[in-house]
Structure 1
Amino acid sequence: MMSMKYTCVICVIIISISIIANCAEYTYEIDCNNLRMGQYICPHPEYDLIDPKTQQPRGCTKENKAKVVCLAADGLICTETKNNTFKRDIPCKWTNGYSFETSVLLSIFLGMFGADRFYLGYPAIGLLKLCTLGFLFLGQFCDVILIATQIVGPADGSHYVMPYFGPEINIIRSNNFTYKVPQQDW
C-alpha cells in the first residue's frame, strides 16, 4: 500500500518535470522588428551605448537615428539574425564636434571680435562682427542670448556636444500640421 503511494508520487513528479522541461525548450522564431514594448530590451544591457566624444548613442547619423543592438525576450529567436539579438533605430542628436560650453564662452569673452560665429561656421557674420566691434557690442549681447538658449547652432545643422544630462533645450515649433484643440467655455 505504501509503495503504491510512493510510486504514484514519483510518477507525478516525473511527469511534471518532463512537462516543465518540454515547455522550457519551446522557442518561437519571429520577425523582431514587430516586437512590442516589453518583449525586448533596447539597447542590449551589455552594449556600450554612449560615445564619450559626442555624448550621443554610438553611430548617430545625420538623420538623427542610431542603430543599436537589442535583446529579445527569452524564448524568442529573430528571423534576421537567427539568435535573440537584433538591430533597431533609436533617436539621437547628430553632432559634429561643436562644444556648447566653448560656444558660450567664446560668445561672452570674444564675441565682439566674432570668434563665436567663426567657431560655429558663420564666417560672414564673424567678419562683420570683427569689423564693427560686435555691432558696437549690441550684436555680441544678442549672440550671447541666442547661443545660450541654443537658437543659434552650428552652421552644418548638427547639434552641440554637451554632457549627456546637460542643459539641453528642446524647442517646440508650430506649423500648419499643429493646431490648438478647441476648448469648451465653462
Structure 2
Amino acid sequence: MASYRRRSRSAPVLLLCVSLCFPPLRTEPVLSCDALRPGQYLCNEPKIDEITQEPENCTDATALVLCLPAPNISCLLSNGSEFKFSGDEVGFNKTISCRNVGYYSYKVAVALSLFLGWIGADRFYLGYPALGLLKFCTVGFCGIGTLIDFILISMQIVGPADGSNYIVDFYGARLTRLSINNQTFRKPHLPV
C-alpha cells in the first residue's frame, strides 16, 4: 500500500517535468502574415487623392493599404520572425487596384456632350480635334452624331485620347467591362 502512495505522489511531479521539458505541439504551421485568411485581418481604407479620386501613391495600377491582423493572431513577419498581434499593429501591406487617370473629368465630358456636343466641344475637350472640327462643320452630323457621341461618352466607351481614364468620384459611376475568355467558368444550363 505504501508503494502505491509513493507512485501517486510522484505522478504529478513527473507530469509537471514532462510538460515543462516538452512544450505542446502545434497542429497548424505558422502562416506568413500576408497569407492570413479573410476575417483574420482588417485592412484600412485607402487614402483618396482629392484631385484624381484614386488612392494616393497609385503606380502601375496598384496601390498599397495597411492591414492589421486580429487580436491574438500569430503570423510570420516579412523578416521571418513570429509575432502575436494585439489588433493595433500593422502586419502587412495589401495591394489594391487603381486606375491611371489623366486630367479629364467624366462629369465635364458628359456635360459638354449633352449641351455643346452639336458643335464638337466634347471631342475637343477629350483630345480629338479632327472629330471635333467635323462635328462643328456638320453641326453634329445633323443630330445623329451628337446623340451617338453622348451615349458613347456617358457609357465610358469613348475616353480621353491620351489613353488615361476619366476622373470619376471614388464611389461614383465607374463602369467595369467584363470579358469572357477560356478561363471563365460557365455554369451549365439544366434541361427544362
Contact kept in structure 1, 2:32 and 2:75, CA below 8 Å: no
More deviation in 51-60 or 138-147? 51-60
Match of 2:65 in 1: 68
Contact kept in structure 2, 1:122 and 1:155, CA below 8 Å: yes
Match of 2:101 in 1: 95
- Cα separation, partners in 2 of 1:124 and 1:180, compared to 1, 3 Å: farther
Q: CA deviation at 1:85?
A: 3.6
- Cα separation, partners in 2 of 1:72 and 1:152, compared to 1, 3 Å: same
Match of 2:40 in 1: 39
Match of 2:166 in 1: 160
Q: CA deviation at 1:81?
A: 9.9
1:43 maps to a residue whose letter is N
- Find 2:177's aligned residue among 153, 156, 171: 171
Q: CA deviation at 1:172?
A: 2.6
Q: CA deviation at 1:93?
A: 2.5
- Cα separation, partners in 2 of 1:93 and 1:131, compared to 1, 3 Å: same
- Cα separation, partners in 2 of 1:114 and 1:59, compared to 1, 3 Å: same
| SS of residue matched to 1:50 | coil
The share of aligned pairs that are identical, in percent, is: 45
TM-score (normalised: structure 2): 0.66
Output one character per residue of 1:115-154: Cα deviation in whole Å (capped at 9) or x when no partner: 1112112222222222222222221111111111222122
More deviation in 66-75 or 132-141? 66-75
Q: Distance in 2 between matches of 1:77 and 1:178?
A: 34
| SS of residue matched to 1:57 | coil
Alignment gaps of 5+ in structure 1: 1-28
1:145 maps to a residue whose letter is I
- Cα separation, partners in 2 of 1:70 and 1:97, compared to 1, 3 Å: farther
Match of 1:21 in 2: none
Contact kept in structure 2, 1:78 and 1:84, CA below 8 Å: no
Alignment gaps of 5+ in structure 2: 1-29, 82-88
- Find 2:52's aligned residue among 45, 51, 54: 54
How many residues are treated as equivalent by the alignment? 155
Match of 2:190 in 1: 184
Output one character per residue of 1:51-97: Cα deviation in whole Å (capped at 9) or x when no partner: 11122221223x43212222233454622598734222112233213
Larger Rg, first or second structure (1 or 2): 2
